[in-house]
């Protein structure tokens, strides 16, 4: 599997504080069945991570992972705050794009007011594609779900956080995650993991618990691989109406 959202780099943001913790974290990703991880530290006003820091940290982590014989491929990336991203030059944004391509992992705003739709248009006009992280957690999208439909119709693709499916962020987020899945508005699944305890890795089990075990390969391998290769993803991803386990119980 491919995890396109993971705060793996040590001592950069709110991920692991040192290299030892990062290596334990990398081992946990492998144990969870992941073979490729995009290191995506926050790039925001609070964590002003730049492309040079990502490149340097990525080189150090690759060296350490090889030395520890951990079979995990690491690629570049960042989780970009919208306002922060809009103020960066194109060259810097390119250095923070997923895998060195044109896709930016943009954080769906966790505050109720932000110019999300107009900001996305501005970034796309500059030649970048947008993968919107955890839309299920964004209050503005929870209150105005039609905005997700508009964003997707305008070329944005979405990334659901696995923890949103198993109740890690509460039942309201869990219900909205299920709604987005039912409407075919989820294109990839990622862990958004920060450590091995509080926000651990894991992709397969939340999808299985949601009755979507048949789509692990699609959402956690095929679509992420296509995105990294610069290939288009479909606008809608119909996953059928079968539900079992945790999310099916929410229908009652």
**pTM of the complete model:** 0.94
Label each residue of the chain as H, E or C: CEEEEECCCCCCCCCCCCHHHHHHHHHHHHHCCCCEEEECCEECCCCECCHHHHHHHHHHHHHHHHHCCCCCEEECCCEECHHHHHCCCHHHHHHHCHHHCCEEEEECCCCCCCCHHHHHHHHHHCCCEEEEECHHHCHHHHHCCHHHHHHHHCCCEEEEEHHHHCCCCCHHHHHHHHHHHHCCCCCEEECCECCCCCCCCCCHHHHHHCCCHHHHHHHHHHHHHHHHCCCCCCCCCCCCCCCCHHHHHCCC
Mean pLDDT value across the chain: 93
pLDDT band per the 50, 70, 90 thresholds, residue 239: confident
Residue 247 has pLDDT above 50, yes or no: no
Residue 241 has pLDDT above 50, yes or no: yes
Give me the pLDDT at residue 112, please. 72
> Would you kindly state where each structural domain of the chain is located, as residue ranges?
2-249
pLDDT band per the 50, 70, 90 thresholds, residue 154: very high
pLDDT in tens, 191-200: 999 999 999 9
Mean pLDDT, residues 115-141: 96
Residue 240 has pLDDT above 80, yes or no: no
Considering the domain 2-249, what is its CATH architecture?
Alpha-Beta Barrel (3.20)
Mean pLDDT, residues 172-188: 96
Residue 83's alpha-carbon distances to 108, 117, 136, in angstroms, are: 11, 12, 20
pLDDT in tens, 25-41: 999 999 999 999 999 99
Q: Who wins on pLDDT, 12 or 250?
A: 12
pLDDT in tens, 52-111: 999 999 999 999 999 999 999 999 999 999 999 999 999 999 999 999 999 999 999 988
């Amino acid at each position: 599997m491919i995890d396109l959202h993971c705060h793996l780099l040590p001592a950069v943001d709110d991920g692991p504080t040192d290299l030892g913790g990062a290596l334990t974290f990398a081992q946990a990703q492998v144990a969870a069945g992941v073979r490729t991880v995009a290191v995506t530290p926050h790039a925001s006003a609070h964590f002003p991570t730049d492309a040079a820091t990502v490149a340097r940290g990525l080189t150090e982590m690759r060296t350490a992972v090889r030395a520890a014989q951990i079979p995990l491929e690491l690629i570049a990336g960042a989780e970009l705050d919208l306002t922060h991203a809009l103020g960066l030059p194109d060259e810097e944004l390119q250095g923070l794009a997923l895998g060195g391509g044109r896709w930016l992992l943009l954080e769906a705003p966790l505050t109720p007011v932000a110019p999300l739709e107009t900001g996305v248009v501005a970034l796309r006009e500059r030649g970048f594609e947008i993968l919107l992280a955890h839309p299920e957690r964004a209050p503005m999208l929870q209150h105005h779900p039609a905005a997700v439909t508009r964003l997707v119709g305008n070329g944005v693709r979405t990334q659901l956080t696995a923890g949103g499916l198993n109740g890690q962020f509460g039942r309201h987020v869990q219900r909205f995650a299920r709604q987005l899945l039912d409407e075919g508005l989820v294109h990839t699944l990622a862990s958004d993991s920060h450590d091995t305890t509080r926000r651990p890795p894991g992709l397969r089990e939340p999808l299985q618990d949601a009755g979507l075990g048949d789509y692990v390969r699609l959402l956690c391998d095929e679509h992420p691989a296509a995105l990294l290769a610069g290939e288009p993803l479909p606008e809608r991803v119909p996953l059928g109406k079968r539900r079992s386990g945790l999310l099916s119980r929410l229908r009652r």
